[in-house]
Amino acid sequence: MLEGYSTISYITGLTKQIKLGLMVTCCFYRNPGLLVKTISTIDVLSRGRTYFGIGAGWNERESRGLGYSFPSLRERFERLEETLQIAKHMWSGDTTPFSGKHYNLAEPINSPQPLSRPHPPILIGGGGEKKTLRFVAQYGDACNLVMGTTLTDAGDLRESREEGFSYLRHKLQVLRKHCRDLGRPYDDIEKTVATYIKLTPDAMSTDEVVELCCELAEIGIQHVIFNMPNVHEIEPIQTIGDEIIPQVRDL
């Protein structure tokens, strides 16, 4: 795949409306100060269309293949939390030093600041119940959960719709509890899900995708991100824009 921030920087100049972000940034691949600066820059250039997608990271093979050490799960979550704290620190305009266990910033200047107010929405990926969803409640503006698919060519990602919806309901209840424990309004969090569709005669129809969106909306999902194995074909993209979005945008 293409490197994410280079790609959305390019897309910024080609588009006027779509939101731009990564699903999601591995927290230990980039220095947090530079990462916040990168996202702020894209937000300015896109006139406020950026999401900050971030997660703890999981792909050991990729990490070692690119020359990174692969921290323990505990350290990855420590680094994720410090990255979230640094983002909040810098986006508040605070230039005083940040001192953490893993990162120390002597003078975290971030100028210009993002155009999004109060900052680009922080979308935290993952469904971990002890750490990830608590971080969503404490630091995030959006969660991102992954729902599997019944597409036959999706291999080991296959999952029945019933199981997928049960999973989502449970994770949203966990998030609700974390919000309650931290005194954060649950409705402040945008609920997003990533799932898989394939708009072809032998896979899914337009009506089936609309039905899926309606069912997700009924359980509280507000934003659906589709992975598409045939994304390189223009016709499915046109179908989503012309036929699906008009039917589901106001759910």
**Residue 105's Cα: distance from chain center in Å?**
25
Handedness of CA 109, 28, 126, 72 (dihedral sign): negative
In angstroms, the Cα distances linking 227 to 5, 16, 34, 241 are: 18, 22, 28, 15
Domain residue ranges of the chain, discontinuous segments joined by +: 4-196+216-229
pTM comes to 0.91
Architecture in CATH of 4-196+216-229: Alpha-Beta Barrel (3.20)
Q: What's the pLDDT at 149?
A: 63
| Residue 86 near residue 105 (C-beta atoms within 8 A) | yes
**Phi/psi of residue 32, nearest 5 degrees:** -60, -40
| Residue 36 near residue 90 (C-beta atoms within 8 A) | yes
Nearest Cα residue to 110 out of 97, 94, 133: 94
Residues above pLDDT 90, as percent of the chain:
84
Radius of gyration of the chain (CA): 19
Q: What's the pLDDT at 35?
A: 98
Sort strands 98-99 and 104-105 into parallel, antiparallel or unpaired. Answer: antiparallel
Q: What's the pLDDT at 231?
A: 81
Q: What's the pLDDT at 238?
A: 93
Six token digits for residue 78:
């420590």
- pLDDT average per 10 residues of sequence, the chain (251 residues): 94 95 95 98 97 96 96 97 98 97 98 97 96 98 86 50 90 98 97 92 90 95 92 90 93 81
| Residue 98 near residue 105 (C-beta atoms within 8 A) | yes
Q: What's the pLDDT at 161?
A: 78
Handedness of CA 209, 210, 215, 221 (dihedral sign): positive
pLDDT tens column, 175-201: 999 999 999 999 999 999 999 888 988
- The one-letter amino acid code at 118 reads P
